[in-house]
Structure 1
Amino acid sequence: MLENYFPILMFILVGLAVGVGPLVLGLLVSPHKPDAAKNSPYECGFEAFEDARMRFDVRYYLVAILFILFDLEIAFLFPWAVVLQEIGLFGFIAMMIFLGVLVIGFIYEWMKGALEWD
């Protein structure tokens, strides 16, 4: 009866070894020589110059949302391409409508200047 659970136990043990092993190895092998440069806050390659709670420009969030939007577009294209033979003309037309709406949205954003950095 317990031999049925052996693969699950091995999966858990291998997962823990892959997850925890490099951390423990890094702690054991790495040199512990902290200095001012290593302990300083790092942000985008330059020194932090203001409070961490300062306001960000809305363009950062806009670019993040646009990235997620077009990343999801690609995520829908891969399964569609795999089953294109089975879904036929209806699936092809549905995906072209989907892509058309996304392209119209992309052109609108481009014309509004949402992709421009000043």
Structure 2
Amino acid sequence: MFIHFLTTLILNLIIMILIILISKKTIIDFQKSTPFECGFNPMTYKRLPFSIHFFLIAVIFLIFDIEIIIIIPMIMTMKLSMLIYWLLTLIMFIFILILGLYHEWHNGMLDWTN
């Protein structure tokens, strides 16, 4: 019984040592150990300026996606609800979207050339 325990222990230790030796990286490359960021040079550590215009366009795009996600189920529920309430809800929702679009347009958020 003791011999079986000892052989199992020795085999486990040998396998663990082999795994450590095989999996250890011998060459550590600085470029490969830095995180990859799309569009930025990973060689420098200084902060690069980030375009606020790109951020605003991304936020507007996300809002547009959420609007689509809300409108599509409204089309499917048209048969299940009373037409007058469904139409009133749809008109109010589209009116709020148009007000938001006017606000974005009035503040110049939709100017792509700046």
Q: TM-score range by the shorter chain?
A: 0.5 to 0.7
Tell me the residue number matched to 1:90: 85
What's the CA shift for 1:83? 1.2
The alignment covers a number of residue pairs equal to 86
Deviation track 1:45-93 (CA, whole Å, cap 9, x = no partner) reads: 8x899956x1312111111111011111111111110111222211221
Unaligned 5+ runs, structure 2? 1-36
Q: What runs of 5+ residues in structure 1 fail to find an aligned partner?
A: 1-42
CA distance in 1, matches of 2:91, 2:46: 47
CA RMSD of aligned residues (A): 3.1
Partner of 2:14: none
What letter is aligned with 2:78?
Answer: L
Equivalent residue letter for 1:117 = T
Look up the match of 1:73: 67
Structure 2 letter corresponding to 1:63: I
TM-score (norm 1): 0.53
Higher helix share: 1
TM-score by length of 2: 0.54
- Say which SS state the counterpart of residue 114 (structure 1) adopts: coil
**Bigger Cα Rg:** 2
Q: Percent identity?
A: 26
> Which residue identity lines up with residue 101 of structure 1 in the other structure?
I
Alignment of 1:43-62 (within 5 A): 51=46, 54-62=48-56
CA distance in 2, matches of 1:85, 1:96: 17
Q: CA separation in 1, counterparts of 2:80 and 2:38?
A: 47
